[in-house]
Structure 1
Amino acid sequence: MSRPPTFAPPPGTRAHPLPTARGSFAVLDTSPAGEIRGTALLAPGYTGSKEDFIALLEPLAAAGYRTVAVDGRGQYESEGPADQVAYAQAELARDLVAQAQALATPVHLVGHSLGGQIARAAVLIDPRPSPFASLTLMSSGPAQVTVEQQQKIKLLGDALAVMDMAQVWEAMRAMDPPAEGDDDSDMRRRWLLHNPAQLIATGSQLTLEPDRTDELAAVSLPKHIVSGERDDTWPVPLLDATAQRLGARRTVIQGAEHSPNTDRPAETAAALAAFWDGLRG
């Protein structure tokens, strides 16, 4: 589970609903004080939320980029139905397309983990005209997660089938208690607002996702693969190979693991901005 350093957005960030053709989605929206060099749309991972990108907002704004971090349907502050069919990957991908279109400018799309696989599916829809200026997959592999992660996802899915969200939270905390003195209230609130149907459906996707790298390679869009130097969800050598197959820029954030956006936010923001700056040139 991603653990943002804070749930308090930085000064100058607007928390608001983004209206789209597919409904409204909760976002954190940060613009630079001066010239806007580009706009980024950030999609979080499994069990995560827009708050996972909070530490990137200020440095990306300082680099000149408007950054819009979004809760997908059924995630945290974006409502969603109780029907798992509503969270099919194709539906979530169409949501991302609609969010990008609502921003009314080609966006640099960034997806973390599960968000990366949904972002890939959004690009593969190939909407015309494309609302995307580039694609960054952050700690997001080409197909299903490791066997160990598949087992964890199955355990969570089984628990969600027979327990409510509060009971599952208590069970998770019993197995992995927070450090002494840590305030878990924001994490608990986020968990309780997630729609369990979303967690079950997207968890299943992570265990079954096929490799669509060749399809993505055929899309003429600048691509970037970012990860930490260690990753327990997709092996780093697999991410290296995926970047080669895509002809994508590759960045490894030293000292980071599966969530470089929270582990090393300054370095991650610098890598994103450098990629986007290069496209301007």
Structure 2
Amino acid sequence: MENRITKLFNIDYPIIQAGMIWNSGWRLASAASNSGILGLIGAGSMYPDVLREHIQKCKAATNKPFGVNVPMLYPNITEIMDIIVEEDVKIVFTSAGNPKTWTKWLQDRGITVVHVVSSVKFALKAQDAGVDAIVAEGFEAGGHNGRDETTTLTLIPMVKEQLNIPLIAAGGIATGKAMLACMVLGADGVQVGSRFVASEESSAHQNFKEVVVNAKEGDTQLTLKELAPVRLIKNKFYDEVQELYKTGPSVDDLVKLLGRARAKRGMFEGDLDDGELEIGQIAGLIHDIKPVATIVKDIVSEFEKAKAEVVNL
């Protein structure tokens, strides 16, 4: 399955395991890379010394390419970038910031840079900044999201129309059929997040994994746009957010309710009532917890089968 994405990352299949906070530690990233796709460590929930440990453990667990996802709003961003270079990581996915800030600095040190966007406007800004590829993430995605609520089905062809560099689709992708659909629309590969949350190797708490596999259509909602748009499973904390919105809250009011470590409490520690539970809409199609290798095999197998069926239409 060779194309621009497999060549760029030296992987077997054009699939990226998303670098999600509190879910994407070294076990998930190494298992993904060992399965022939690109594994990513999610640096957004790691202190610098913890990230270094995860990188070192990932290197010991796989001889395949892997990368690190870095939200550029991270307060220790310079230290994080220095660790990535010191540990000889060759692939970095950046998000939540201006790609011009770090792209050239990383590339000058031999690192491939991919930037995550949620609109055509920011895709073009990232291309102008010189990134090697783009992840265009639709409204369906879990975690932090675009304020414009552009769906993947709409976003990918609009970005493809104006982009010259490789394009990776994200948001609502957990199956081989969805992967094929995105590639028909113009993507060179896909990034998969929520499906890998419900994997044996994910660092998510078992309570959270079970909530994900039991989720139904309509159980998630995009909220907290005034801070950073995030898609949450509806729980006690989500209900409190909605009640606060009825009062016309200020940003400070929302920040106070959110507090500290709310996502850690929910996804990593398993507090299903007061924790922030971030997941994509595709959770309604995720019904079991499987090893990463099995998930990848299932996606690739379904992709090939669907591709053959489409040819025969």
Place the TM-score, normalised by the shorter chain, in its bin. 0.3 to 0.5
* TM-score, normalising length: structure 2: 0.33
Q: Larger Cα Rg: Structure 1 or Structure 2? A: 2
Q: TM-score, normalised by structure 1?
A: 0.36
Where relative contact order (Cα < 8 A, 6+ residues apart) is larger, the structure is 1
